[in-house]
Structure 1
Amino acid sequence: MKLLTFILLIVLANSLPLRASEPPNIIFILADDLGYGDLGCFGQKNFQTPHLDQLASEGMRLTNHYAGCTVCAPSRGCLHTGLHTGHSYQRFNGKIELRPDPQDITVARLLKSAGYHTALIGKSGLSGNTANGKLPNKKGFDHFFGYTSHAAAHRYYPEWLWRNGEKITYPTNHGKEGGEYSGDLFLAEALDYIEQHREGPFYLHLSLQQPHADLSVPQEWKQPFLGKFEEVPFKGDHYRSEQHPKATFAGMVTYLDHSVGQVIAKLKELDIDNNTLVIFSSDNGPMSEGGWHKNYFDSDGPLKGGKRDFYEGGIRVPTIAWWPGAIEAASESNHISAFWDFLPTACELADVATPPGLDGISYLPTLLGQPQPEHKYLYWEFYEQGGKQAVRWGNWKGIRLNVSADPNGPLEVYDLENDLAETTNVADANPDIANQLAKFMEEAHVDSGLISFKKKK
């Protein structure tokens, strides 16, 4: 009996993550403008995403997870800093970058202090647009390869990219067309990085461009979908022209799926999968631009809205967490969480203190099937299209539009438990709920020195 007990203890010990003596590697893979309904495991029927579906079947779907905002730069700023857009510095797209330390301390800086090697590959979320190719290194990333300008990241055939402050040129590329696809470059860099740092611990933020416009993917990824859909050719504007937008979009998402599959395969090949947490998500809801519209493939799934909206389709994003031996396979959580929760989650994994004053709450307990502290509410603000605010409080959702014209204007109120698609504004029937949501908006918003809701004079 003693021998049997001893054997069982050994088996159990080997099946658990080695959190105390061996902090896990952390990989956060971020898609760009991928909608809640764009993956097979979240309901997509027009094309298949087998690698991400497999990730979900081996891990956990987070069905109530939210992006930091409804466009790129502010959303990613929340991911890096653990602050929502009522408190963060980077609240808008454009020429802005996170400030030097000790301001805007990033998750990379904190993990680096805990002994992690840190890398950012792809589209930097540390700036909306900057010519400073060393910015990611200065903000805590030991290694950086990619774009520091989100406008430049609209192009899949870059004339140049940054690698640790050095400009790497691609003479055969011309922005909208070329010989070297950025996705191939980023995937190769990521696989090489994992290979080099297999001993760990490492933190890799792999920030991919697909399926953001330009609509662009190598021909072999588009080819299987040609002739399958009724197409409306796009003549081009700021974005490249494309004769087959639907086939190209399907090819872009399947390319994205392939890239994730390659990362997982590398972890398994190196036998480090059991000590690596992989999180996959998207920076905001689905776009309708560059020849694409979210309605073509029902990219918002059961939700309403898309990019630049604060309806659920604009901010609720398809999210998967995978950690063999730690996260229960084929599990699902409806825990209400957001991008600003990633920093405290990573800190808890690395056994490093989370800085005070942040908005995030670690969701590591959810991943491990343990009791989970909950948010009082989630908050967002957005400065385009007249200004917008949103709050989620339990199953209640409040949205205020035209904030710049009327900062104290009426709220739309939705009961997400009974109306996930936000079809019926129930503010008039629930005045106390509307008032409480408005109070949360006032409480959560701190004026920014860079941008304001105030109407321009």
Structure 2
Amino acid sequence: MKTNFCTLLALIIGVLTSHRCSAETPNIVVIMADDLGYGDVSCYGATELQTPHIDQLAKEGVRFTNGYCSASTCTPTRYSLLTGTYAFRGERTGIAPPNSPAIIQPGTETVASLLKKAGYATGVVGKWHLGLGGPGGPDWNGDLKPGPLEIGFDTCFLLPTTNDRVPQVYVHDHRVPNLDPADPLWVGQKKPSPDHPTGKTHRDTLKMDWSHGHNSTIHNGISRIGFYTGGHAARFRDEDLADKWVEKSNEFMEAHKDEPFFLFFSSHDIHVPRMPHERFQGKTKLGFRGDAIVELDWCVGEVMKTLDRLSLAEKTLVVFCSDNGPVLDDGYKDGAIEKNGSHRAAGPFSGGKYSVYEGGTRTPFVTRWIGRIKPGVSDEMVCTIDLAASLAALTKQPLPNDACLDSFDVSGALLGQASAKGRDHLVQQDNGSRGTFGLRSGKWKLHRYQNKTARNVRVEQELANTKVPMHQLFDLSEDEAEKQNVLDEHPQVAARLQKQLDAIIENGRSRD
């Protein structure tokens, strides 16, 4: 009888423990696409290609119509996601060059460090682009620190910069794997290596031609930004990146299946150079850009399959988002414009990557937690910058007063709770701290440009580099495409929003 009682008690404790882990401390998987627009996936209206795995994620979770990233380029958005602080408050937060030192310094509170305090195993796989190493920059042949492991991650397997910038090597924790000491890796920004061809000197050898800017060192038939030589045994093929991210993500989830884990799956798709694996090439009529979207969708499906195989789907909160809006020609002649047809990468919005129009920062945003999140569509405003405060709240971790300065707890909205509200305003920036901002507050959207006139880069070819006035005001409830500047009709609204934007910038924080 005593044995039976002990066995029953153990079973009850096991059930309660399992319920607590799934209901209160879920595994967390954040999948961030790169340059994916609001209209690039079929659950957000794309008709020229299909994304069944992302669609399934949305069908089983909450699809946000007002989901944002905080900036319209990669480095500042990634900085803000991890730190919960607008990138314009930090230093060197514009698009990071190949030899950038670590932008997020040790001791900075991040999503990863908060979750690590909550007992999570933490890992990042994929594109980093937040710099590595001390003030002198990365020691490519030595220890690459500080880096992710110094700001809360237990492990990392990275593309250190972004793949249109050198070098084409992986970073595992603090080292470049497979380096041959007899062939050291050298990386430079402005001076070419005399023994390495470039996109200018050997343009006729390229398998993907450049259209602007990307004409330095050639690797794998593609020229990049910056120069490097050596490290040949450590280099990867562009076509294999997606497979490697899935492989390493699966390894991480399998290794930590019996404890809470946080995985940041930071895809490089669909950033240039778009060179999907051969099995995806030609799968769409949109050229390599469309094929890369299909490859991204496959990655999402593979991660979901692993969660199912490990019986973790009901114990895992999945967040799918993008680091900024879309761009067609971003430096390579890959057919993105010529084969675009009727596809609208930014959906109904104007702008795209590099701009503060809605298309630059309003992107696909989906949350799924089977059994906890009721499937549906939400119009609440949420942003990737809110993951820090929201996940801290979900795991009952207090936020230090001097950390995550612009991150709001919108966990209720992320979990699809009917009465929960998202944020009521959001600052959007283009790149770094150049003084170009958008402020959305309710139905209103203010643009402020640093100069009296500015050049807005829009995703639409015919509107690229359109000059705009220093201030613009749009009523998004009537004009979601931001075509009609109504500043003259509503000067008091414009003045109120300008005062609000100035206060957010000058006060040094949004969070009370």
Could you state the TM-score of these two structures normalised by the residue count of structure 1?
A: 0.82
| 1:390 Cα offset (Å) | 1.0
User: For the residues of structure 2 that align with 1:136 and 1:419, how far apart are their CA atoms?
Assistant: 41
Give the secondary-structure state (helix, strand or coil) at the position aligned to 1:420.
coil
Give the secondary-structure state (helix, strand or coil) at the position aligned to 1:146.
strand
User: For the residues of structure 2 that align with 1:321 and 1:189, how far apart are their CA atoms?
Assistant: 22
> What does 1:388-403 correspond to in 2, within 5 Å?
388-403=436-451
1:258 aligns with 2:298: yes
Code of the residue aligned with 1:212 in structure 2: it is H
User: What do residues 53-77 of structure 1 show as CA deviations (whole Å, max 9, x unaligned)?
Assistant: 0111111101101112010101111
Equivalent residue number for residue 97 of structure 1: 102
1:377 aligns with 2:381: no
Equivalent residue number for residue 502 of structure 2: 442
- In structure 2, the CA distance between the partners of 1:99 and 1:250, relative to structure 1 (3 Å rule), is closer
Equivalent residue number for residue 87 of structure 1: 89
1:340 aligns with 2:385: yes
Equivalent residue number for residue 212 of structure 1: 271
Structure 1 unpaired stretches of 5+? 1-9, 229-245, 449-457
Structure 2 unpaired stretches of 5+? 1-11, 181-217, 223-235, 455-468
Q: How large is the RMSD of aligned CA atoms in angstroms?
A: 2.9
1:154 aligns with 2:161: no
Equivalent residue number for residue 34 of structure 2: 32
1:418 aligns with 2:478: yes
Deviates more, 1:370-379 or 1:181-190: 370-379
User: For the residues of structure 2 that align with 1:20 and 1:222, how far apart are their CA atoms?
Assistant: 39
User: For the residues of structure 2 that align with 1:143 and 1:213, how far apart are their CA atoms?
Assistant: 26
- In structure 2, the CA distance between the partners of 1:197 and 1:91, relative to structure 1 (3 Å rule), is same
Equivalent residue number for residue 280 of structure 1: 320
Q: Which of these residues, 28, 41, 44, is aligned with residue 43 of structure 2?
A: 41
- In structure 2, the CA distance between the partners of 1:347 and 1:383, relative to structure 1 (3 Å rule), is closer
> Contact 2:123–2:155 (CA<8 Å) still a contact in 1?
yes
> Contact 1:114–1:350 (CA<8 Å) still a contact in 2?
yes
User: For the residues of structure 1 that align with 2:19 and 2:488, how far apart are their CA atoms?
Assistant: 50
User: What do residues 395-429 of structure 1 show as CA deviations (whole Å, max 9, x unaligned)?
Assistant: 100001234889xx842000001111111000000
User: For the residues of structure 2 that align with 1:305 and 1:346, how far apart are their CA atoms?
Assistant: 30
Deviates more, 1:60-69 or 1:176-185: 176-185
- In structure 2, the CA distance between the partners of 1:93 and 1:168, relative to structure 1 (3 Å rule), is same
Give the secondary-structure state (helix, strand or coil) at the position aligned to 2:283.
helix
Q: 4+ residue runs of structure 1 moved beyond 6 angstroms?
A: none
Give the secondary-structure state (helix, strand or coil) at the position aligned to 1:119.
strand
| 1:375 Cα offset (Å) | 3.1
Could you state the TM-score of these two structures normalised by the residue count of structure 2?
A: 0.74
Greater C-alpha radius of gyration: 2
Q: Which of these residues, 397, 408, 421, is aligned with residue 361 of structure 1?
A: 408
User: What do residues 227-278 of structure 1 show as CA deviations (whole Å, max 9, x unaligned)?
Assistant: x4xxxxxxxxxxxxxxxxx321121111100000000011011111101000
Q: Which of these residues, 345, 353, 361, is aligned with residue 307 of structure 1?
A: 353
Identity of counterpart residues, as a percentage?
31
Equivalent residue number for residue 231 of structure 1: none
> What does 1:107-126 correspond to in 2, within 5 Å?
107-126=111-130
Equivalent residue number for residue 287 of structure 2: 247
Code of the residue aligned with 2:489 in structure 1: it is A
1:326 aligns with 2:326: no
> What does 1:162-181 correspond to in 2, within 5 Å?
162-169=171-178, 174-176=219-221, 179=237, 181=240
Code of the residue aligned with 2:269 in structure 1: it is Q
| 1:96 Cα offset (Å) | 5.4
| 1:175 Cα offset (Å) | 4.5
- In structure 2, the CA distance between the partners of 1:84 and 1:251, relative to structure 1 (3 Å rule), is same
- In structure 2, the CA distance between the partners of 1:374 and 1:256, relative to structure 1 (3 Å rule), is closer
Code of the residue aligned with 1:248 in structure 2: it is F
Give the secondary-structure state (helix, strand or coil) at the position aligned to 2:123.
strand
Q: Which of these residues, 48, 53, 56, is aligned with residue 55 of structure 2?
A: 53
User: For the residues of structure 1 that align with 2:255 and 2:45, how far apart are their CA atoms?
Assistant: 36
1:268 aligns with 2:311: no
| 1:445 Cα offset (Å) | 1.6
Length, aligned pairs only: 409
User: For the residues of structure 2 that align with 1:155 and 1:184, how far apart are their CA atoms?
Assistant: 20
Equivalent residue number for residue 396 of structure 2: 351
> Contact 1:278–1:322 (CA<8 Å) still a contact in 2?
yes
> Contact 1:73–1:128 (CA<8 Å) still a contact in 2?
no
Equivalent residue number for residue 152 of structure 2: 140
- In structure 2, the CA distance between the partners of 1:258 and 1:21, relative to structure 1 (3 Å rule), is closer
| 1:188 Cα offset (Å) | 0.4
User: For the residues of structure 2 that align with 1:258 and 1:170, how far apart are their CA atoms?
Assistant: 30
User: What do residues 72-129 of structure 1 show as CA deviations (whole Å, max 9, x unaligned)?
Assistant: 1011111001112343445311235334332x32110111111101001001153399
Give the secondary-structure state (helix, strand or coil) at the position aligned to 1:392.
strand
| 1:148 Cα offset (Å) | 2.3
Give the secondary-structure state (helix, strand or coil) at the position aligned to 2:263.
strand
> Contact 2:65–2:377 (CA<8 Å) still a contact in 1?
yes
